[in-house]
Amino acid sequence: MIPELGHLALILALCLAIALAVVPLFGNATSQLRLQVAAHPLALGQGCMLLLAYAALTVSFIMDDFSVVYVVANSNSALPLPYKFSAVWGSHEGSLLLWVFILSLWTIAVSLLGKRLPLLMQARVLAVMGMISSGFLAFTLLTSNPFKRYLPDAAIEGADLNPLLQDFGLMIHPPMLYMGYVGFSVAFAFAIAALMDGKVDAAWARWVRPWTAMAWGFLTLGIALGSWWAYYELGWGGWWFWDPVENASLMPWLSGTALLHSLAVSEQRRLFKSWTLLLAILTFSLSLLGTFLVRSGVLTSVHAFATDPERGYFMLLLLVLCVGGSLVLYALRASTVRSRAVFNLLSRETCLLANNILLMVALAIVFLGTLYPLFLDVLGGERISVGPPYFNVLFVPIMALLLLLLGIGINVRWRAMPSQRLMHLLRQPLLWALGAGFAWPWVYAGAFNASVALAGALLVWLLATSVADLRQRVQQQNNAGSVWWKLGASYYGMLLAHIGIGFTALGIVMVSHYSVEVSLRMAPNDKVNVGGYQFIFDGVKSIDGPNYSSIQAQVQVLKNGSVQQILQPEKRHYNAGQQVMTEVAIDAGLWRDLYVAMGEPLAQDSWALRIHYKPFVRWIWLGALLMAFGAGSAAWGKRHRFILLPVAQTRHKGINS
């Protein structure tokens, strides 16, 4: 009964989504106020129906309803309860439902917070989101219905959730990632509305900025969680593989970062307008492309979903309709929103322009590296794969350049800045950065290393330039009779996000240069020294979990002869699917992780063990947390912008040439 209810709710949601896509625009065209206002209840209704459908699927999982095909494929009566919740998005159908559900949440958020926008804008933005929603709901219902039943008779037991997904990190990774992906639909909808309008003003950029910042923050978290998960679950000790699916999430992140910065220019200086619109379209398109690549099976990857060509075609059709349609509109209308202004070479505009160029180059690198094998294959060439060296060689220098520029960008003013003044501001940070950079590898490892020095210098550079800018602003504030906390959450959020990148960069470089990895054969009581720690293998014991049995190794960790910790990596054997999984044991710390994974059993009670010493690896995700938190507070600090009336006046007027 409950699955049918969910199915019905899904169908109703589709009807409401279609109405949401059509009615407000019709009201627009015929100037009927009531029809335009109807967008709000329609958005709310759609959200409620999707909540119902989502709840129905969740309940089917909790009640072990093995008459539902999707539940059989992804659950098992022995599956622990928390994983029954997350199993809802464990595979294609359910994660698609989660996708549209999250879209409906964003739609409701726009509807609730955007009541002060011009009615025309409200109606158009919500209608565009309704169109996206209808497309994806139709996709769900026609090709991937999660409520499909085994009839007439139900299965006795389920096949169990993929063991790789039975894990805390993967419980929260997909929702976060989708919050990011789908969140960019708001910026996209605003861009389409602006193109319909033929007008982009500062107020428009103001509305879009917080939404974009929120989505970007979620995407950052989602990517970081995915990387963290790969680190401890796949058992190779790697945290980023330049795998197509990872790249698929990195591409909208790069483009979204560019969008955030270009929006700032559009708001403050009314520049880059058509470029901003294009970036908004591009970012959401790349989110859709990411969804497509993961689901269509055109790329192979460790994370790819089970694939089905029919779904691939449908999905691509959606993609072409959405992206192609919006770009046709762009080609037709963007010429009306041109911007013209003059600014000095030494100005924040130039810095942000350079930021956008660098990010686009980085995007091109990832894009070509990810899709080149695919294109070559289609064009009848050889079967190839692109190795990580390609990405590392090209991507890393671009990012280093970006961070260097960032320190300048924080301090430079809009329009123009005298170079002496900038030099004065930056001299101290530069000295700090150079000093710290040179000292850091000596202090840490007793030997010089250029990359490590650069990463250390860049982090200090970011910190010092942030402090320099903060000091200067506080001085200005003091003159105006105000204090530092009046600078606002969005300013501090911006600084925090930028410093976060520095932390991530340092973590990446440190872990790449100072990691120690040993794979070896160990018999009970064998000892090995890794990274200043002694590891003693005490043998294995068998233990039983709820839906698996496991062999657990006992590894003592000693430092200076005293036992610090006993690490217990496992080799799990899942009962339902007969899969074997390596469960890593990690002693995590701010300065280093100790990481032990089991390999295969060898003769005479000995095992293959993989032991890593990973310095600073936590900093990678710590930095991402800072970025996400910074983006959140930047959006929060600007919340008045989408709740209050649009501010008619902008502080700086563009000067026409």
Partner 1 sequence: MNQDTTVATNWPGWRWRLLLLLPMVLAFGMGALLWKSIGTDPNRLESNLIGKPIPELLGPSLLDQQRFLQRSDLSGQPALLNVWATWCTSCAIEHPYLIQIAKLEQVRIIGINYHDKRPQAIDWLNRLGNPYAFTVFDQQGDLGIELGVTGAPETYLVDAAGIIRARHVGILNERTWPQLRQQYQQLIADVDSQ
Partner 2 sequence: MHLKRKRKLQQLLLLTVGSGLIIGLILYALSENINLFFSPSEIASRKAYPVQRIKVGGMVREGSLERANDSLQVSFMITDYQHDLVVYYDGILPDLFREGQGIVAQGQLQADGAFVADQVLAKHDENYMPPEVSDAIEQASAAANATTEQTDL
Q: Is 601 in the site for partner 1 (CB under 8 A)?
A: no
User: With respect to partner 2, which residue has the nearer C-beta, 385 or 656?
Assistant: 385
Q: Which of 585, 605, 600, 598 is nearest to 525 (CA)?
A: 605
Binding partner of residue 234 among partner 1, partner 2, none, CB cut-off 5 to 8 Å per kind: partner 2
Chosen residue from 100, 194, 298, 620 binding partner 1 by CB under 8 A: 298
Q: Tell which one of 2, 8, 155, 398 touches partner 1 (CB under 8 A).
A: 155
Q: Which two tokens stand for residue 479?
A: 């003159």
Pick one of 1, 31, 382, 648: the residue that binds partner 2 (CB under 8 A).
Answer: 382
3-state DSSP assignment of residue 651: coil
331 binds partner 1 (CB under 8 A): yes
Concatenate the DSSP letters of all residues of 85-118 into one string: HHGGGSSHHHHHHHHHHHHHHHHHHHHHHTTTS-
484-494 burial code (b ≥16 CB/10 A, e <16): eeebebbbbbb
CA dist., res. 568 & res. 596, Å (int): 8
- Residue listed under structure tokens 């029809």: 35
Q: Does 575 bind partner 1 (CB under 8 A)?
A: no
For residues 237 and 71, give the distance between their C-alpha atoms in angstroms, rounded to a whole number. Answer: 32
Q: Is 472 in the site for partner 1 (CB under 8 A)?
A: no
Please select the residue that binds partner 1; options are 65, 233, 267, 349, rule is CB under 8 A.
349
The pair of structure tokens assigned to 466 is 């942030």
Q: Which residues 6+ apart lie within 8 Å of 12 measured at CB?
A: 49
Residue 377 contacts partner 1 per CB under 8 A? yes
Q: Which is nearer to partner 1, 405 or 445 (CB)?
A: 405
* Residue 346 binds partner 1, judged by CB under 8 A: yes
Instruction: In whole angstroms, give the CA distance from residue 172 to residue 120.
Output: 37
Among 109, 119, 196, 303, binds partner 2 (CB under 8 A): 303
Taking CB under 8 A as the criterion, the residue among 59, 141, 361, 625 binding partner 2 is: 361
158 binds partner 2 (CB under 8 A): no
For partner 1, give the closer residue by CB, 73 or 459.
73
Cα separation, 496 vs 348, in Å, equals 19
Instruction: Compare residues 211 and 231 and give the one whose CB is closer to partner 2.
Output: 231
Q: 10 Å Cβ neighbour count for 532? A: 10
Q: Which residues contact 597 (CB under 8 A, 6 or more apart)?
A: 235, 236, 237, 569, 582, 584, 585, 609, 610
CB of 257 to partner 1, least distance (A): 19
473 interacts with partner 2 by CB under 8 A = no
Sign of CA dihedral 67, 72, 74, 77: positive
Instruction: For residue 161, give both structure tokens.
Output: 């959730």
- Cβ-Cβ contacts under 8 Å for 101 (sequence gap 6 or more): 50, 51, 53, 54
Interface with partner 1 by CB under 8 A: which residues?
69, 72-73, 150, 155, 158-159, 271-272, 274, 278, 281-282, 285, 292, 296-298, 300, 306-307, 309, 312-313, 316, 319-320, 323-324, 327-328, 330-331, 334-335, 338-346, 349-350, 353, 374-375, 377-378, 577-578, 657
Interface with partner 2 by CB under 8 A: which residues?
162, 164, 234-235, 300, 302-304, 361, 364-365, 368-369, 372-373, 382-387, 389-390, 393-394, 519-521, 580-582, 597, 599-600, 602-603, 608, 610
